[in-house]
Chain A
């Protein structure tokens, strides 16, 4: 009797959540919305944020530009030394200072099989300047006067005036003429077609984008049959996803502390090569203290870049000697990269008229940086080093939107930043020419947010834009870099390596110094020795 009562009572005592728990477990698959499995031969590439569009004419983020670059190549591409070289174009020639003639490769086809002809090229560049497309990149093409299709294979490009850096813009992706209406009308950015190594398959949600090898690619379909571009926003999770085998490749998406760990994990290879992205400190030139050249030089002397590269970057970089990376044809011979000299820093600050106060400090400066963990830790190390020279640093890590807004408006004293890989030395014009100080006259474009002015440098940078030969341009840029090393509107810190983390069954992937994903066109999955089934 008692036994029966206890058995019956046992059910009554059961926790009230048992049934809902079972129901939830049964319902979870439908609520979790699992998708059909990706094809078995899929290689997973991890990225930090989803591309905002797959239309290269509208792409602003590095992820969007790199992913769209796999789908829509341009007439030219940037080689590892920063020179524009033929891609869809077989060749090009400059027929006069403002005219270029491009010859397309024969038999080019878009991924849907339709032929790619000169009319598509002309239509692409026309659309870039059209208010209907409203491309945020339109300003880059304002030098264009006319793009004409002479026949199916030849395109003539005329400029309004000589502009040497213009060739770098010819890397813009070519899209089919029939789909060049406003993006909202054709959905091109969501379902693109191009002539690249991969073609679009599906974009079921923001986090997953499936591509497929393009059989119509002029260099032949890539060995990777399916490529899934998966967004994983958290860096540690990206590292764990690679470690577990959930993902296969991540390009410049893992910071040095985690790279050091991944390098020791069996089944994972960390591939690196010198990169073209430069980290730097930017000084606001109208600040009462930073306007003194000696103060800027003292800051440079007080910072131990070698130690930062060794201990913060864990060796995944190299101390910089110019904003232009060493791979650039315009970098020129190496410049001195002095180490830390605290005594000189102190002497310079004394000479500049900033003695130490009763609290041991000379003055306080704000250092703005992003909230990225790695960047914040670098800012903390710099603050510590500057404090030893008597400069108290107020660290100001800011969320991206706020940081971007403050930098745009010149609301900073020192900003710790990084230039994305630098492709064209004309960047120096945009960053240091006084015409590039954001103002109503230039529509508030221009990156001279530090407010640096030097009439001599202006003349050199403007001459370099129209110099007829690369040799003359290189000579101009060498002089410009010397002036910048003397005046220090920027203090360049280091060049960050371009690093790819790949599973060891992926072969043939070589990181690009610019962080491009084009190595995926030649990579393949193989079965490592000893793991054959």
Chain B
């Protein structure tokens, strides 16, 4: 419990730090939101009036304070007229869509990487191991926008099996999730292979083999279970990559999620929307890492005991 409370406290501080940092960066960014909004023919008096109306003429600490206050009371709205919508409502609309992509991408990655990594380790230096290495290098080095376009071309245009863009069909999430998942599975399969190789060298594996336990059982039951801890760690860290990767992938697939929301907000210089989106990204990343630590503790009694002390 103490462990959990401590981590939650750190989580809150990190989220606050991220909000402050992003506010400072936004302040440094060239490009005035009001000038972008009002366009080229805006009179300077109109620009000044709108700056005052949306609070841009206030000092930065005051702007951040108003953001946090409005966020806490649920009154936070997007900064720019004519439609100043409630940010919470917009986030509630877009965040689950990115959540779906991220979850599906992680599942794709695990489903692909675990068997590939295990099989590569079991047949070390064999053809399967080499094939898995080639696939991993390709997956790591190909940018997600290229993978996305290739998948659209193949599954959407050539085969006509899946929607090319948007989110208006039940299967629309498959291609963007696959794109995100492929990059992740590449690194995950290499970690799985390395972890499995290490475990397969342990004495208890040798003992199991000496007792005549079938190899399949040794690999999938005994070795994989013990090789999972480093894989879990990487998976937790990669959750951040999945979230940031969603910004590019959502644009390619026209997926109206948090990434698209953030990108549009940055282009418009909608400061409230940018801060809120970054806060959601940060909190998600921190919560996933916390969950990874908890899972780690559950999986490894040594970690649990260390945390209890």
Give the B-binding residues of A (Cβ under 8 A).
Answer: 6, 9, 12-13, 15, 17, 20-21, 24, 28-29, 31-35, 37, 53, 55, 58, 60, 134, 136-140, 183-184, 189-190, 205-208, 230-234, 236-237, 240-241, 243-244, 246, 399-402, 404-406, 408, 440, 443-445, 447
Q: Which residues of chain A come closer than 8 Å to B107, judged between CB atoms?
A: 17, 20-21, 24
**CB-CB < 8 A to A24: which residues of B?**
100, 103-104, 107
Return the chain A residue nearest B169 by Cβ.
A34
- Whether the Cβ atoms of A445 and B260 lie closer than 8 Å is no
Interchain CB contact under 8 A, A134 and B220: no
**A392 shortest CB reach to chain B, Å:** 24
CA distance A444 to B160 in the complex (A): 52
* Subset of 20 A-B contacts with CB under 8 Å: A6-B214, A28-B170, A31-B97, A31-B99, A34-B168, A53-B83, A58-B82, A136-B37, A234-B251, A234-B254, A236-B252, A237-B164, A237-B254, A240-B164, A241-B164, A244-B164, A246-B166, A399-B267, A401-B269, A445-B40
12 further A-B contacts with Cβ under 8 Å, apart from A34-B167, A35-B168, are A13-B216, A13-B217, A15-B114, A139-B41, A184-B83, A184-B84, A189-B83, A207-B166, A207-B256, A236-B149, A240-B152, A244-B152
Contact A237 to B267, CB < 8 A, known contacts A32-B173, A183-B82, A405-B32: no
Residue in chain B with minimal CB distance to A401: B31
Q: Roughly how many angstroms separate A240 CA and B254 CA in the complex, as a whole number?
A: 12
- Is the beta-carbon distance between B36 and A401 smaller than 8 angstroms? yes
The 6 closest A-B pairs by CB, nearest first: A401-B31, A443-B43, A29-B170, A31-B100, A60-B39, A405-B31
B96 touches A31 (CB 8 A): yes
* A493 vs B4: C-alpha distance when bound (angstroms): 64
Contacts of A189 in B (CB 8 A): 82-83
Q: How far is the CB of B265 from chain A (nearest CB, A)?
A: 11
- A65, chain B: closest CB distance, angstroms: 11
Q: Which residues in A have their C-beta under 8 angstroms from that of B41?
A: 136-137, 139-140, 445
Residues of B near A190 (CB, < 8 A) are 83
- Give which listed residue, B29, B152, B254, contacts A233 with CB less than 8 A: B254
Please tell me if B55 contacts chain A, counting CB pairs below 8 Å. no
A445 touches B42 (CB 8 A): yes
Task: Give the chain A neighbours of B145 by CB distance below 8 A.
Answer: 234, 236
Q: A15-B110, A15-B111 are in contact. Are A233 and B164 (CB under 8 A)?
A: no
Query: How many B residues, CB 8 Å from partner?
Result: 69
The distance from the CB of A324 to the nearest CB of chain B, in whole angstroms, is 19
Interface string of B255-278 (1 = CB under 8 A from A): 010001001101101000000000
From B104, B107, B164, B217, residue with most partner A Cβ within 10 Å: B164
Q: Quick check: A237 and B220 within 8 Å, CB to CB? A: no
A-B contact count (CB 8 A): 174
> Inside 8 A of A136's CB, which chain B residues have their CB?
37-39, 41-42, 46
Instruction: State whether A246 touches B156 (Cβ < 8 A).
Output: yes
Q: A6 CA to B97 CA in the complex, in Å?
A: 40
A136 to B264, CA, bound (A): 21
User: In the complex the two chains form, what is the Cα distance from A231 to B165 in whole Å?
Assistant: 10
CA A140 – CA B40 in complex, angstroms? 12
Contacts of B38 in A (CB 8 A): 60, 136
Pairwise interchain contact B153-A246, C-beta atoms closer than 8 A: no
Distance of A330 from chain B, by nearest CB (Å): 21
Contact A32 B164, CB 8 Å, known A53-B82, A234-B252, A400-B267 = no
- Report the minimal beta-carbon distance from A136 to chain B, rounded to whole angstroms: 5
Q: Which residues of A contact B148 (CB under 8 A)?
A: 237
Q: In chain B, residues 29-64, which have Cβ atoms closer than 8 Å to a Cβ of chain A?
A: 29-32, 35-47, 50
Of the candidates A21, A206, A406, the one whose C-beta lies within 8 Å of that of B30 is A406
Cβ contacts under 8 Å, B99 to chain A: 31
Distance (whole angstroms) from the CB of B46 to the closest CB of chain A: 7
Structural contact, B35 and A408, CB atoms closer than 8 A: yes
CA distance A236 to B156 in the complex (A): 13
Q: Does A440 contact B173, Cβ atoms closer than 8 Å?
A: no
Contacts of A440 in B (CB 8 A): 44
* Complex Cα spacing A279 to B36, Å: 21
Min distance, Cβ A247 to any Cβ of chain B, angstroms: 9
B81 contacts A241, C-beta separation under 8 Å: no
B39 to chain A, nearest CB (A): 4
Cα distance A53–B31 in the bound complex, in angstroms? 21
Instruction: Collect the chain A residues with CB atoms within 8 Å of residue B100's CB.
Output: 24, 28, 31-32
Please determine whether B253 and A237 come into contact, CB atoms closer than 8 angstroms.
yes
Could you tell me if B167 and A32 are in contact, using CB atoms closer than 8 angstroms?
yes
A33 to B255, CA, bound (A): 11
Is A401 a contact partner of B30 (Cβ separation < 8 A)? yes
Residues in B whose Cβ lies below 8 Å from that of A139: 41-43
A89–B43 Cα gap in the complex (Å)?
A: 31
Interface string of B73-102 (1 = CB under 8 A from A): 000000001111000000001001101100
Judged by a CB distance under 8 angstroms, whether B172 is at the interface is yes
Instruction: Please name the residue on chain A nearest to B158 by beta carbon.
Output: A244
Residues from chain B with a CB closer than 8 A to the CB of A32 are 97, 100, 167, 169-170, 172-173
Interface-central residue, A17, A53, A140, by most chain B CB under 10 Å: A17
Q: B143 contacts the other chain (Cβ, under 8 Å)?
A: no
Q: Tell whether B115 is near chain A: CB-to-CB under 8 Å.
A: yes
CB contacts (< 8 Å) of A184 on chain B: these are 81-84
**Nearest residue in A to B163 (C-beta to C-beta)?**
A246
Query: Is residue B309 within 8 Å, beta carbon to beta carbon, of the partner chain?
Result: no
Q: Let me know if A34 and B30 touch, CB within 8 A.
A: no
**Cα–Cα distance between A231 and B167 once the two chains are bound (Å):** 12
Residues in A whose Cβ lies below 8 Å from that of B254: 207, 230-234, 237
